[in-house]
Amino acid sequence: MIIQPKIRGFICTTAHPTGCMQHVLEQIQFAKEQGQLKNGPKKVLIIGASTGYGLASRIAAAFGANAKTIGVFFEKEPDSKRTATAGWYNSAAFEQKAQAAGLYAKSINGDAFSDDIKAKTVQLIQQDWQGEVDLVIYSLASPRRIHPKTGKIHNSVLKPIGKPYTSKTVDVMSGKISEVTLQPATEEDIENTVAVMGGEDWTMWMEALLAGNCLSKGVKTLAYSYIGPTLTYPIYREGAIGRAKADLETTAKNLTQKLSALSGQAFVSVNKALVTQASAAIPVVPLYVSILYKIMKAKNCHEGCIEQMVRLFKDRLYATDKVVVDDKGLIRLDDWEMRTDIQNEISALWETINSDNIESLSDLAGYRHEFHKLFGFELPGVDYTQEVDADVKIPSLASEVTV
């Protein structure tokens, strides 16, 4: 079929397999160019491995450190009417290229919140790796979670806490800036958001891996978080999602204790705001990101997911024997985003930006381009007028019998 983008709000309902391959290849190329880590991780489990930060983590581990990887994600395979989701094609591309490079790469597709997928992952690690995972990356971003013990469905919200929040926001495709008022989250909303995006499931994963003897001595585990500037505090850091992120920080401390017999450590890594499927859904944030991109590109310090993840491995996790953290024990990859000069310029632009000047005051065009790339569109060298076979298999899943 000929595949074109079909954008509905902040999601694209189609994905292009050749474009996704190209997007993965770009990231592999970057990771390889930065040189191989000598003392990097060897066996890495990535939960949320198919897009955004999780995919980039997988690529950085495999192609920047020669690590074996198992990736867990929840993606839709193609059928006769629809393309697969981008994460499916990304994972097919990643596995193909990893295996061609002689790197072990297997994937598990299903609901990471479930007991079943955890058990399946433990079994695979025991069988293929004799249980020696030395790095576990938790990079899930999901709007809902079915709790494995209670069966309750928790829906997360992107809302402020305490009082309504009014701010500028942009319709990315039209460039129209309008004012949005978000009503505050209820206590139940906050609890649900913490249940989905907080640390309970991360803990359940680590407990399952510990119980299955899957972790090696000195194992590290990380979850990703965001802090951002005061400008976005009401919707992010001090909003319902911020509570979930605070819960991750507490969880990291508790997990480090649970892992003490293995001298293991758990960390939260605070990453830069970037265009991903998850961040596109947050009101206000795309406008902030468009301005941020403009300024960071002008100052030559812009990074995408792969640049961030390579820096995480090289300069934070495996630079020395000790992981590099701030005074609160957090890994900081948002250091360049949060530079005073950069944030001062954003604050000034935020006041003046409107629908008429947005294209010149921000990098909205760059945002749109990155958004298309997430789904395999607008990649150089791909002819989107050509027929393409949407029925792509993920090598390690192809032989699986689904029951």
Near ligand NAI by CB under 6 A: residue from 41, 48, 64, 242: 48
Q: Name beta bridge partners: 221.
A: 136, 266
Output DSSP code: residue 212: T
Q: Where in 254-273 is the site for ligand NAI (CB under 6 A)?
A: 271, 273
Q: Does 235 bind ligand NAI (CB under 6 A)?
A: no
Work out which of 14, 18, 27, 50 binds ligand NAI, going by CB under 6 A: 50
User: From the CB of 277, what's the least distance to ligand NAI, in Å?
Assistant: 4
Q: What is the DSSP string of 292-352?
A: HHHHHHHTT----HHHHHHHIIIIIISSSSS----TTS-EES-TTTT-HHHHHHHHHHHHH
CA dist 128 → 13, 39, 43, 49, 379 (Å): 35, 22, 11, 19, 35
113 binds ligand NAI (CB under 6 A): yes
Closest to 19 (Cα-Cα) out of 4, 31, 30, 34: 4
Q: How far apart are CA 221 and CA 58, in angstroms?
A: 14
Nearest of 320, 311, 315, 225 to residue 266 by alpha carbon: 225
Taking the complex as a whole, the smallest distance from the CB of residue 20 to ligand NAI amounts, in Å, to 13
Tell whether residue 284 is a contact of ligand NAI (CB under 6 A). Answer: no
Q: Fill in the DSSP letter of residue 393.
A: P
Contacting ligand NAI (CB under 6 A), which of 276, 290, 362, 396? 276
Q: Minimal CB distance to ligand NAI: which residue?
A: 52
Q: Which of 94, 202, 205, 226 binds ligand NAI (CB under 6 A)?
A: 226
| 83 vs 75: CA distance, rounded Å | 11
Among 30, 165, 224, 375, binds ligand NAI (CB under 6 A): 224
Task: Specify the stretch interacting with ligand NAI by CB under 6 A; choose among 95-103, 157-165, 183-191, 221-229.
Answer: 221-229
139 touching ligand NAI, by CB under 6 A: yes
Please select the residue that binds ligand NAI; options are 24, 274, 295, 358, rule is CB under 6 A: 274
What does the alpha-carbon distance between residue 16 and residue 90 come to, in Å, rounded to a whole number? 10
Tell which positions 63-92 bind ligand NAI, by CB under 6 A: 72-75, 87
Site residues (CB under 6 A) for ligand NAI?
48-54, 72-75, 87, 111-113, 139-142, 224-226, 271, 273-274, 276-279
